[in-house]
């Protein structure tokens, strides 16, 4: 497709289980971002990729959260030993790397519910 694709769209898991969320960015976009949005809250930055490297991981809330990107394309966000407070919509965005473009393209998000 032409846009940012995320999967799964919905995930329900039990506390303590690991989950993986996937993001397929727009073809040609070298920059990729993960955000999360808890119910009724704003968007919280998690991590930024430039190619396969992550120069900014400052938003990852704990060491249970990790992300990788391979081939300069697909990215996976992994949450280990999920907790109820991890319940949120996880949004992925991609963009060109030119610093003045300003435009991030967001996917529809993966809604995670931890029971």
Partner 1 sequence: DAKTTQPPSMDCAEGRAANLPCNHSTISGNEYVYWYRQIHSQGPQYIIHGLKNNETNEMASLIITEDRKSSTLILPHATLRDTAVYYCIVRVPQMEYGNKLVFGAGTILRVKS
Closest-CA residue to 21 (of 60, 64, 75, 88) = 75
φ, ψ at 79 (rounded to 5°) = -120, 120
Residues in the chain: 115
Which of the stretches 14-22, 64-72, 73-81, 94-102 binds partner 1 when contact is defined by CB under 8 A?
94-102
Tell me which of 21, 67, 91, 114 binds partner 1, using CB under 8 A: 91
Nearer to partner 1, 35 or 65 (CB): 35
- The footprint of partner 1 on residues 22-61 (CB under 8 A) is 31, 33, 35, 42-43, 45, 48, 50, 55-56
Least distance (Å) between residue 62 CB and partner 1: 20
Question: Who contacts 102 (Cβ-Cβ below 8 Å, separation ≥6)?
Answer: none
């Amino acid at each position: 497709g032409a846009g940012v694709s995320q999967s799964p769209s919905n995930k329900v898991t039990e506390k303590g289980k690991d989950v993986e969320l996937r993001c397929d960015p727009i073809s040609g976009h070298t920059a990729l971002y993960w955000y999360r949005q808890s119910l009724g809250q704003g968007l919280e930055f998690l991590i930024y990729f430039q190619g396969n490297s992550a120069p900014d991981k400052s938003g990852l809330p704990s060491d249970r959260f990790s992300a990788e990107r391979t081939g300069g394309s697909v990215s996976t966000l992994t949450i280990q030993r999920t907790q109820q407070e991890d319940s949120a919509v996880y949004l992925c965005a991609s963009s060109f790397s030119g610093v003045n473009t300003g435009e991030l393209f967001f996917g529809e998000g993966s809604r995670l519910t931890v029971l």
